[in-house]
């Protein structure tokens, strides 16, 4: 068991320019990430990812992002996964 997350080479970066929507589904929150592009003189907002987190994991992610924004060290709270599928 590794004590840090795996970073498979086949995972692409997804660049987001904003949040399109946040919805609650049971105990999970679905965050819709968007990017913009200009097409035929119009600005389109495209969904580039949906991130689904439990309430606790979303709260942890918010704290981790705030630490990064404040210039503090990343607060690792990632639990090692028992079953990890790569690509």
User: How do the pLDDT tens digits run along the chain, 87 residues long?
Assistant: 456 667 777 888 899 999 999 999 999 999 999 999 999 999 999 999 999 999 988 888 888 888 888 888 776 654 444 444 444
Our measurement of the distance from residue 24's CA atom to the centroid of its chain's CA atoms, rounded to an integer in Å, reads 16
Within the chain, where are the H helices? 55-69
pLDDT of residue 8: 74
pLDDT of residue 2: 56
From the list 56, 16, 11, the residue with the least C-alpha distance to 32 is 16
CA end-to-end span of the chain: 19
Our measurement of the distance from residue 23's CA atom to the centroid of its chain's CA atoms, rounded to an integer in Å, reads 14
- How many degrees, rounded to 5, is the angle at CA 51 between CA 47 and CA 18? 45
Q: Taking the CB of residue 45, how many other CB atoms lie within 10 A of it?
A: 12
pLDDT of residue 85: 46
């Amino acid at each position: 068991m590794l004590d840090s997350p795996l970073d498979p080479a086949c995972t692409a970066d997804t660049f987001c320019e904003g949040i399109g929507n946040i919805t609650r589904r049971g105990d999970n929150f679905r965050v819709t990430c968007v990017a913009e592009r200009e097409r035929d003189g119009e600005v389109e907002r495209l969904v580039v990812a949906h991130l689904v987190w439990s309430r606790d994991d979303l709260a942890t992610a918010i704290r981790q992002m705030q630490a990064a924004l404040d210039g503090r060290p990343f607060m690792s709270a990632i639990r090692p996964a028992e079953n990890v599928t790569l690509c």
